[in-house]
Each structure stands twice: as structure tokens, then as C-alpha cells.
Chains A and B, each alone.
Chain A
């Protein structure tokens, strides 16, 4: 099974900041990496799929990069609604595992 490790587990930032979250896979997943945002008490929401493709309706301040085993999610010009928990997920092979989450506060 492929293990996904996110860092940091929590991150303090302010409105207007630029933040980066890292996700590392235990094996090569090419570019099959997705990012989700979860607000408290809500279902996760797809932000980015296959490393860098923005889901419809997601603001352009979100971006993703990487390949192989190392990936990043970058948020520029943080907005109040961006304070949430972020998860990466590999869609390379079953079981389709998630990272443990990064709480942005």
C-alpha cells in the first residue's frame, strides 16, 4: 500500500500570506495526486486533481505541483475562507490513500 505523509500537520498563517503544504508518497505515483479542503463539520471538497489541475470554481490562488513522490499545494493571498484542513490523496493505485491532513489556522 502507498502511504501518504503531509507536512506540516498544522500551520499558522494570516490573511494575505502565502503558504505551502507538502505531501510525500511512499512510492512513485507519477502525477496522480489530488488535494481536498475540509471545513469543520463539512465534507471534503476537491480543490486540485492530477497534481495541478484546478477543479471548476476553485480560485486561482490555489496551485499544485510535483511528480513522483513529492508534491506541494500552494495558496497565495490567503483569504479568511481558506482556513481549513487540507488533505492530499493518491489516485495511482488501490487502496486510494489520504494524507493525515494539514490544519491551517
Chain B
């Protein structure tokens, strides 16, 4: 079974703090993704990575950065958290060409910035 894990289910941080959200997959996937999900706005892609040290911006990269030093781990970084970054963050990875490159998601991290 595909397994994607995220470091925290719930996280509370203060404005201005540096925040790290980590995502790990155990299936040797090439591609990994970070989304945020907000009521009324749906899922929006922040960044994705198609290989170690490679990254591409998604639709809403502002205020975020990412790091992929190892194939299995993809980190989302909020350099200086702001209240408008309070959201549900979902990580995903893809198995490959099978099933149209299906994205498998982790359990999500609900981040609250006070």
C-alpha cells in the first residue's frame, strides 16, 4: 500500500514564526506536491517537486518555500507565518505512469497561525 505521512495532524504557531511541515513517502515516488485547502477555495497547489533538489511553483507559492534533499521527504516552509496561512495543508505523491499518475495524499496538517 502507498503510504504518505505528514509530521503533524494539528499545529498552532504564532505570527512571524518559521514553520516546517514535513511529508514522507515510502514508495520511491518521483513527484511530490504540497496543497492548501480552504473553504470555498478548494485545493490549491503551492509547490511540487519532480526529483531531489528540483521544484516548481504551483498556483500560490507566495509566502512559502520548499526543500527536497532526499527523495522520500518533501518539506514545506513558512519563513514568517501569517494569519492568512491558517489552513489545511495536504501533501501528495505520485506512483508513476500507472493509473494516470494518480496522486496519493497524506492525512493533512491543520495549521493555525495566531
Do A and B interact?
no
